[in-house]
Amino acid sequence: MISQLFREIGARRPGLITSVGLDTFADPRHGGGRFNRLATDELVELIELDGREYLRYKPFRVDVAFVRGDTMDRNGNIGWAGEAAQLDAAAIAHAARASGGIVIAQVKDVTDGVLDPHVVHLPAALVDVVVHDAAQRQTHSAPFDPRLCGAGDETDFDVRAADLPHGARAVIARRAVAEVGSDQIINVGFGIPTFVVDELAAAGRLSDNTIVIEQGIFGGRPLSGDLFGASASPEVMHASTTQFDLINGGLIDLTCLGMAQVDRTGSVNVSRIGGVINGPGGFVEISESARHVVFCGTFAAGGLDVECGDGRLHIVREGRIPKFVDTVEQITFSGGRAIRDGQRVTYVTERAVFVLTPDGLELTEVAPGIDVERDILAHMGFEPIITRPIPMAPELFTAHTHRPPTPTDHQQGANR
C-alpha cells in the first residue's frame, strides 16, 4: 500500500483508497498501523463509499527520494536494464517531485550515448542529483549476474539435493507443492515458502505454472535465501507498483506464505511477534487477493527438532513457542474476512494440515507417527474441528530421491 500511496502522492491525489488492510492491523479499529500508544497521528482512515467500507491511506510529504538505476545517458535519463528489479523507484521519485522535494539517484555507469527509451525508468526531468558509483553492485551477492536481468534458461540455477531443505522445512515445502496444480499463477513469500519453488523444480514441475513475485517479476526462477526478490531468467520485469495493481486485481491463483501465529478464527500474524514489529512487506495485499492461500510454517517455534524416515515423523525436541494460539497478537491476515470473501485457506505444518471453514480451523491431515492428543492438541491454544483426518503422504517423510506428492496423490489420499 505504501508503494501505491507514493504514486497517489506523486499525482497529488487525496491518498490511496482501497479495501486492502480492512480487519488487519492497518485498520483504525485494530490500531491503524501504529507501532505503540505514543503514535497518535491518524495515518489511515476508515471511510464508506456506495455502502462499502474502504481504507484511505493518507498522503504525506516526501522531501527526499533516494533511487537508483544502472546507467545514465548524456541527456540525464536513467535506465535499469542491468538491475535485478525496478521496484517502486519511479513512484518514489514522482512523490518527491510533487511534494517539492528532491530526487537523488545513484548509477553505476555514465554513457555519452543515448539510452533505448524502453529501458528508461527515471526521466532526467525527475532527477535533481546523480551520484556515480562505479562499484555499485547489482545485489549483495555479486557485482553483476546477467541471469537476474535477462531472458535465458532458469535451469542455470538448478538446485542440488544438498541445497534443498531438510527436516521440518522439507516436509512443509513438499506438502505445499501438493496444493499446486498446473497452468496457475503462483506466488511465494519469504522463508519456508521459497523452498516450494525449489521443490517444484526438483519435481520437474516448475514450468507447469507461472511464478510471480511482488518485486515486479513474472516467470523465471525466484531465488531463495538472501537473494529472495530476484529471479533467474525472468520473462517480464516491471515496477512493483504495477505488480501490486495486478495482485489487487486478482492475478494470483495460489500463494504460499509464512505464518508466525494462527488463532481459532484462522487469522494469521506475521507483523508483531513478542512485541517486536516485523515489516510484512506485500503479505497483506497478496494474502487478501489470492484465490487460494497456503500458509507454511512449523507447528511450533523455538528449538523444534524433528527426524524423518520410513515415511514417518519423529519429534526429537518440541518447540518452546506455540504458534497456534487462542488470539493472535496482531492481525496480518483476517480469517473472518477470508470466509466472507470465499477464499480457500490451507495451513501446512510438518505434523498436521488444517483448512479454514466457516466454523473455524479443521484438522484434515496428520503425519504418520504423530499422536493427535500428545503432539497436536496439547500444544494448541484452542481445539480445532476434528472429523476424519487422513494421514499425510508417506513420501513427504523420505529422502529427496523420492518425488514430492502430486495433486493427484493428495486427492487420492483424501478420497481414501
So which residues are the catalytic ones? 214
DSSP string, 159-221: PPGGGS--HHHHHHHHHHHTT--SS-EEEE-SSTTHHHHHHHHHTT-GGGSEEEETTTEESSE
The dihedral built from the CA positions of residue 174, 176, 178 and 181, taken in this order, carries a sign that is: negative
As a whole number of angstroms, the distance between CA 304 and CA 111 comes to 54
Looking at residue 207, its amino acid is S
Strand partners, 222: 231
Residue 38 CB partners (closer than 8 Å, separation 6+): none
Cell of 36: 505503540
As a whole number of angstroms, the distance between CA 192 and CA 213 comes to 15
As a whole number of angstroms, the distance between CA 262 and CA 381 comes to 10
253: Cα within 13 Å, side-chain hemisphere: 11
Residue 35 CB partners (closer than 8 Å, separation 6+): 277
Phi, psi of 177 (to 5 degrees): -60, -35
As a whole number of angstroms, the distance between CA 324 and CA 348 comes to 12
Taking only Cα atoms into account, the Rg of the chain, rounded to an integer number of angstroms, comes to: 23
Could you tell me whether strands 217-218 and 236-237 are parallel, antiparallel, or unpaired per DSSP bridges? antiparallel
- Residue 387: count other Cβ atoms within 10 Å of its Cβ: 7
DSSP 3-state of 322:
strand
